[in-house]
Amino acid sequence: MFARCTPLLVGAASWFFSATASAATVVYGNDFDHCGSVLAQCVPTSFPAAPVPDGSFKWDFAGVQAGAAALHHTNDATPAFQSDASRLHTTFLGEFGGDDTVELTVKLPANTASVNLSFDAYLLRTWDGINGDFSGPDNFGYGYIDGAGDKIQLLNASFSDGNGMNTFCGAQSSPCAARTGETTALPDASGNLLNVSNRLGYKVELQPPPGGTPPLNTELSLVYGFDTGSIAPTADTLTFYFFSTGLQVHPNLTDPTPFHNIDVTRPQVLDESWGLDNLSVTVTTAVPEPRTWAFVLTALLLFGAQAWRRRKD
């Protein structure tokens, strides 16, 4: 009897795994605007003991240079800034500088078929592009770590917020035209796209060499939106990493008082720094369609009926 039912069960299993629909779910999202002043509650460095509304995730700041901390920095809070509708009023995760690396690990639901991350990167102050005269090139990048522990790099490019050549744009235009899946403008409260170049309130902090530009207190910042595209996970967690290389640091700075809108305990972010905002991790899972469940239930009922008849006979 079992032999007669085996083809039916095999067919049911094949149908079960082929007749499925895809369901997209955001398992982690953070714009950091709701975090308040307590970073640990919004950016935990270990997985929470119980599920939380934002999903199960953790941040790792071990790759942030010695003496530095992961901090929230709000945009410039001066009245003039607050009343300017053309500015980007936000809170973000940063600032990072030097050769920092930051990681985000997200736990994935069962049957996850693909993962996608989108986020905004804020590049602050005097990014010099490929110029190597001031510790550069000034690079930003990101990627993910697969189940085997290998780093899959998706971007590593130099950026410039002046006239310097940079590998991301491939020209002296910055921010350059958006590539597929990337944006250089964000919507305001009314949905209108803002020019986000030099709209974050961050300024040149150190006087350039004689004859150099830009002058002190020039406002400089860039916003880029990135999207990883579809990633096929090979484990039940996925780690994304974000990094910079070549950014100038000033560990021996002695007079931080004149500086604008910075954490004065972190001189390494004075010249060039970066932050993250509006992160969203979306997973696609395979979900059996209702007809699939009906077919499998029918097969099981038939199998049960065959076994009952055999016992009765």
Residue given tokens 């971007």 in the structure block: 155
Helix spans in the chain (H): 2-18, 39-42, 79-82, 290-312
* Three-state secondary structure call for residue 201: coil
Give the number of other Cβ atoms within 10 Å of residue 312's Cβ. Answer: 6
pLDDT of residue 298: 55
Rounded to an integer, what distance in angstroms lies between the CA atom of residue 219 and that of residue 200?
A: 8
pLDDT of residue 282: 94
* Contact criterion met (CB below 8 Å) for 244 and 65: no
Structurally, at CATH architecture level, domain 22-288 sits in Sandwich (2.60)
Taking all residues of the chain, what is their mean pLDDT, rounded to a whole number? 74
* Three-state secondary structure call for residue 162: coil
DSSP label at residue 200: S
Give residue-wise pLDDT tens across range 169-209: 765 555 555 443 444 455 545 544 444 677 788 888 777 77
* Three-state secondary structure call for residue 230: coil
Dihedrals φ, ψ of 52, to 5°? -120, 160
Rounded to an integer, what distance in angstroms lies between the CA atom of residue 246 and that of residue 134?
A: 8
Give residue-wise pLDDT tens across range 194-247: 446 777 888 887 777 777 778 888 888 888 888 999 999 999 999 999 999 999
Rounded to an integer, what distance in angstroms lies between the CA atom of residue 137 and that of residue 166?
A: 8
pTM for this model (two decimals): 0.78
Please list the ranges in the chain whose pLDDT falls under 70.
1-22, 36-39, 49-55, 66-80, 86, 134, 163, 170-196, 251-268, 287-313
pLDDT of residue 302: 54
Give the DSSP H or E segment for 123: strand 112-125
pLDDT of residue 182: 43
pLDDT of residue 181: 41
